[in-house]
Amino acid sequence: MLHILVNGCGQKALAFKDETFTLDRRRVLAVCRGILERGLGFLWSCDTRADSLDEELLAAMRSAGCVRISLGVESAAAPVLAGMGKDIVPDNVRAAVAAARQLGFQIRLYMIAGAPGETRSTLEESIAFVREVQPTEVIWNPFTLFPGTRDFSQAVQLGAADADRFFTDGFFELLPMLDRSDDPDARFCIDWLQQHQGLQQVCPYTAAQRRGVLERLPGLHAAYLDLAEACFAEGGMAEAGAAVEQALQLGHPLPGLCRNLRACIAAAAGDIKTALEELLAAKGLGLHAVVERNIEAAQRWIRMGGPDRGMPLSLDPDCSFEITRKRVQPVMPGPIA
């Protein structure tokens, strides 16, 4: 199936959506070995648990093209974890994130606020924990009741939830803490979540850290593009450009992202003609959200008279993992493959 998706359908970025991808360690090692033996050039992500990862497994995954792992952590507070029946402890997460950072993974933590037993103190403990372990990003979600779960059944028995309401057309989600918004702890959780919605960046890699990853995984195309992005962020344009070229020469599966970073480097140097040429080339290599954003930024810059007014063209160098599609029919508008 992977061979068909990658070589037959041209999918160069895939997400494995097993609930715990690394639960069967031998299977994961076999998948990674098969990817390398068959020369399947693609990038991928997976969702897993901190207590089902180790250094050997992570190294195999990274070498086989994995660039992002997502971990369901939920909380760092013992009472909240116990209330959710979560048997992962903070030390598991510390070890997993530390090992993953040594290999340059994008590391996403999923956290929950407002679970049973949550107080301002426990939420602040979780917030501090995220800063301490240094994932690259985090997503905070409110505690939500779903049919079929223990908490939902208990809420129905206590009269705190209506089982039928969940299935009405106008219903989106059931958030218990909204029913106690007059409680100071619940109010703190609600207000904090409103201010920290969506994907939050936590601790990006430095260029020095990216160089360290390449020492462990020499010749990994994705690690060179990672280095290029970090160098760009620190103003090291010459090293960023050299790293982009290395990524391309090594056969990076998403050359559109490489061309986008080329465009950013050119724009930073004031070479607008090259920047626009690279953006158009990147657009032709697949659908990348960052490329679309940069093309829109360039169009706005032109409409505002940027070329005549000497305004700098600022472009986004983001190389984060995303699912991409080729611009060919029938999935995307474009020529028939």
pLDDT value at position 167?
Answer: 66
pLDDT value at position 3?
Answer: 86
pLDDT value at position 337?
Answer: 54
Instruction: Output the tens digit of pLDDT for each of the chain's 337 residues.
Output: 788 888 888 889 999 999 999 999 999 999 999 999 999 999 999 999 999 999 999 999 999 999 999 999 999 999 999 988 888 899 999 999 999 999 999 999 999 999 988 999 999 999 999 999 999 999 999 988 877 778 778 777 877 677 776 666 565 567 777 767 788 999 999 999 999 989 999 999 999 999 999 999 999 999 999 999 999 999 999 999 999 999 999 999 999 999 999 999 999 999 999 999 999 999 999 889 999 999 999 999 999 999 888 899 999 999 999 876 655 555 455 555 5
- Both 293 and 165 in one domain: the answer is no
State the Rg of the chain over Cα.
23
Helix (H, G, I), strand (E, B) or coil at 187: helix
- Both 80 and 191 in one domain: the answer is yes
pLDDT value at position 324?
Answer: 66
Rounded CA-CA distance 201/203 in Å is: 6
pLDDT value at position 150?
Answer: 80
In angstroms, the first-to-last Cα distance of the chain is 19
pLDDT value at position 60?
Answer: 98
Helix (H, G, I), strand (E, B) or coil at 168: coil
- CATH no. for residue 120? 3.20.20.70
pLDDT value at position 335?
Answer: 59
CA dihedral 56, 62, 67, 73 (to 10 degrees): 0
Instruction: Name every residue whose Cβ is closer than 8 Å to that of residue 122 and which is 6 or more positions away in sequence.
Output: 75, 77, 79, 80
Rounded CA-CA distance 199/201 in Å is: 7
Query: For residue 67, which of 258, 238, 223 has the smallest C-alpha distance?
Result: 223
In this structure, which amino acid lies at residue 117? Answer: G
Our count of domains for the chain comes to 2
Out of 201, 216, 233, a domain closes at: 201
| Overall pTM surpassing 0.85 (yes/no) | yes
Asked, for residue 239, whether it belongs to a domain, the answer is no
- Both 143 and 264 in one domain: the answer is no
Report residue 213 as tokens. 């990853």
Report residue 233 as tokens. 């962020």
| Full residue range of the structural domain in which residue 90 is found | 2-201
pLDDT value at position 85?
Answer: 85
Q: Burial-class residue 337 by CB neighbours within 10 Å (0-12, 13-18, 19+).
A: exposed
- Both 260 and 193 in one domain: the answer is no
- Both 136 and 266 in one domain: the answer is no
Asked, for residue 221, whether it belongs to a domain, the answer is no
- The DSSP output letter for 149 is S
Rounded CA-CA distance 132/264 in Å is: 32
- Both 169 and 270 in one domain: the answer is no
Query: Are residues 160 and 147 in contact, defined by beta-carbon separation less than 8 angstroms?
Result: no
- Both 22 and 137 in one domain: the answer is yes
Query: Are residues 28 and 57 in contact, defined by beta-carbon separation less than 8 angstroms?
Result: yes
- Both 268 and 179 in one domain: the answer is no
Out of 172, 201, 230, a domain closes at: 201
- Both 35 and 115 in one domain: the answer is yes
